[in-house]
Structure 1
Amino acid sequence: MNWNTTHEKPKALLIPILGMLLFVFFIIKAASLYPGGSQYSSTEEGFSFLNNYLCDLLDSTTFNGSPNPSKDLARLALFLLCSCLTVLWYYLPKLFKRKGVHLVVIRVTGISAMIITLFLSSNSHDLVIYIAGLIGLIAMITTIVALYKEGYQELFALGIFCLAILLLNYYIYESGLLITVLPAIQKITFVSFIGWFALLNISLYRKMRTTKNVQ
């Protein structure tokens, strides 16, 4: 596979940044429309940072049984996020100088995880989480190792943090230990990942732009 950046357009990497910004905007708007109800209290009003998962915004009905007016915006936000990150995962191998099969792994697993995540609003939510999580974990670990080998220390450190907090999510979810704080940890995880993806995207954009100017 040819990883040469000669004919690539670095402007394509503006798409992930725009998509992530739109995701944040629409998910906040969706949360503002959420009528209320959580797994802890069906009578709770509005979207709770401490008690509601972001996935609650995708459901057709809330925990109190009423229609969920936030679902369309939340699903749009999810589509935008997965679509824009698909672009990032496609180009991400170009960040690295060392060629090898690991670059194929990064691209294929990263894109696959995003495509599978699109089905979060289906009735197979837990299955989607497990499959996308496993494939995404492979993409993450491969990327983190490549970052370490090529001296991207800050991106490597943030990647390790994201990996650790992701594993913490899974541990809490499976063990039930401290399960009441998981909704809050989930949101911290999202913010951390978006920050990491944004920095990866910026670093890649700068490299591709520099390479294009040199050529």
Structure 2
Amino acid sequence: MSNQLLQRSAILFALLSALLFFILSSWAMMEYPGGTIQDRATEGYSFWNNYFSDLGRTRSWNGAPNALSSRLFQAGLVTVGISLGAYFLVLPAIFRTAKARFLAAIASMLGLMAAASYIGIALNPLNVNYRLHTLFVRAGFIAFLAMSLFYTLSILNEPGYPKHYARAFAVFSIILGIQVVIMLFGPRSWSSPGALLLQASAQKVVVYAEMVCMVYQGVGAWRWISLRDHPDRRP
């Protein structure tokens, strides 16, 4: 398999896994029995008051079995973790300059940490191993934030790579950075309904922003490979 085919395959896998996670997590939301950390009596999934992690619980907050929702969430998140791992393994090779490759290698190591954390989140449901689940959640978001910053720098140091992809990553990094601050230093979700709304909403915004950003970056990497290997096609 040629390097270009390997790179394109990893990018395509990551793009498809983002779509799969969106579909499976949406399906899982429809199957979630009900309950939040603040109100065990609610029915169904509350978009702004339930975490994504609630989908992976073996029992929902209202005490009902949550087998289908949990399996859908786990399948989607594990697939994302594996696909991101593949993507970050090939990432440095799409750059040409030594500095960009070095920065991309750091981004890849951080990205692999985030990918492994996502798999850890899926395999350690919140109600089964709270501490390990929470550790993977925090590690995943922080590693992804650091990855985004180094990925931005690698694009900026690669001549010819369209810089609007770096700007998109920079904007996403700000959004993710705000969420990390809320996650680590904001009010705990069990302390009040308002705190739960803040924490769960911030997580939703970031997860969907991350999906959009990575699809955008994947398309950008795909196009860059063509520009890199065929300079005559550049505008």
Please list every run of 5 or more consecutive structure 1 residues that lacks an aligned counterpart in the other structure.
1-5
Aligned twin of 2:147: 139
Question: Within 1, Cα distance between the matches of 2:203 and 2:52?
Answer: 8
Q: Paired residue for 1:88?
A: 87
Change (3 A) 1:153 1:107: same
Report matched runs for 1:2-151 at 5 Å.
7-9=3-5, 10-12=7-9, 13-69=11-67, 70-100=69-99, 101-121=102-122, 122=124, 123=129, 124-150=132-158
Displacement of 1:95 after TM fit? Answer: 4.0
Within 1, Cα distance between the matches of 2:136 and 2:95? 30
Post-superposition shift, 1:210? Answer: 4.4
Q: Which has the higher contact order (CA 8 A, sep 6+)?
A: 1
**Equivalents in 1 of 2:134, 2:105: separation in Å?**
27
Q: Deviations over 1:55-106 (max 9, x none)?
A: 1101111111221131001100101111222222222224433224323212
Task: Find the aligned partners of 2:141 and 2:75 in 1 and give their Cα distance.
Answer: 21
Q: Specify the alignment match of 2:191 in structure 1.
A: none
Tell me if the contact between 2:118 and 2:137 (Cα under 8 Å) persists in the aligned partners. Answer: yes
Tell me the distance in 1 between the aligned counterparts of 2:145 and 2:202: 18
Structure 2 vs 1, CA of residues 210 and 149 (structure 1 numbering), >3 Å: closer, same or farther?
closer
1:60 is aligned with what amino acid? Answer: T
Q: Which residue of 1 aligns with 2:201?
A: 184
Secondary structure at the counterpart of residue 61 of structure 1: coil
CA distance in 2, matches of 1:157, 1:7: 27
Aligned partner of 1:203 among 220, 223, 231: 220
Q: Distance in 1 between matches of 2:224 and 2:179?
A: 33
Which residue type is aligned with residue 127 of structure 1? Answer: L
User: Once the 2 structures are TM-superposed, how far is the Cα of residue 141 of structure 1 from its aligned partner?
Assistant: 1.5
Change (3 A) 1:191 1:209: same
TM-score by length of 2: 0.80
Contact kept in structure 2, 1:94 and 1:204, CA below 8 Å: no
Q: Check the 8 A contact 2:88/2:111 in 1, yes or no.
A: yes
Q: Which is further off, 102-111 or 132-141?
A: 132-141
Bigger shift: residues 156-165 or 30-39: 156-165
- Identical amino acids, percent of aligned pairs: 21
Question: Which of the numbers 180, 184, 188 marks the counterpart of 1:174?
Answer: 184
Using the size of structure 1 for normalisation, the TM-score is: 0.87
Q: CA deviation at 1:128?
A: 1.1
1:153 deviates by 3.0
- AA at the equivalent of 1:190: V
